[in-house]
Structure 1
Amino acid sequence: MATSLICAGTVSRVSSVLNRDSKQFGKKHLFDGHEETCWNSDQGAIQWVLLEFPQMVKISEVRLQFQGGFASTDCRLEGCGKNEDVFTTLATFYPEDKNSLQISFYFFHFPIHGDPLAHKLKIVFENSTDFFGRIIVYKLDVLGEKL
């Protein structure tokens, strides 16, 4: 059974934070469980979230909740091993521009290419529905198995 892979030992990084205001819009808000907090990227063409897990994981599902109007409708899931820096594309997916929680299985089902094992996982937001390229994410979770 798939469970959340994000734990206290998971290290996260993001491409940018709006006005560098990490206290109000930082990466910690992706996982805090509060409905009113979010990660808000600064403007730019491509934004991303990088997760480094304490061990290898097998990824089965991604859950995202965007702010409508600040979503990405063209995304890529990339992975690599612990001591690697070259990411391989595991999947591409196409979320909708809406506020509700989107789950890979129900809303943007995507095929995972090859072996979905990774120590590092990068979610790349190729575009934004916002004119300036900002992305706002209220919730992010990755489900699967710890190996």
Structure 2
Amino acid sequence: MTFTFQGGFVGTRCSIQFREPSDDRNWQSWVHIYPEDVNRQQIFDLPEAPPADNGVETIKLVFEESSDFFGRITVYDMKIEGLAI
């Protein structure tokens, strides 16, 4: 997963959550990432797959903290790359 933020407006703590196809209500925590307060591209290697029995239907990013005093976050670019097995 890659991010490019505007410096000064970075989500400095991000929870990546997932939901299984059979469960449309409950989000499960997968991993936390901690972006730096910079405006260059940042790459985060995620674990191979979330611990899901039936695969993953949806991924959600929750920015829990921001480098900005008012909590603002500006994402210029985000990519999720990988293989589907």
> Could you say whether these structures have the same fold, taking a TM-score greater than 0.5 normalized by the shorter chain as the test?
yes
| TM-score class normalised by the smaller sequence | 0.7 to 0.9
Between the two proteins, what is the percent identity of the paired residues? Answer: 35
Moved over 3 A (4+): 110-114
Tell me what 2:79 maps to: 141
Aligned length: 82
What's the CA shift string for 1:16-63, capped at 9, x where partnerless? xxxxxxxxxxxxxxxxxxxxxxxxxxxxxxxxxxxxxxxxxxxxxx11
Name 1:76's counterpart in structure 2.
15
The question of whether the paired residues in 2 share the 8 Å contact of 1:75 and 1:94 is answered with: yes
1:1-147 map, 5 Å: 62-82=1-21, 83-105=23-45, 111=47, 114-115=50-51, 117-147=55-85
TM-score with structure 2 setting the length: 0.82
- RMSD, aligned α-carbons: 2.1
In the superposition, the TM-score normalised over structure 1's length comes to 0.50
One-letter identity of the residue aligned with 2:83: E
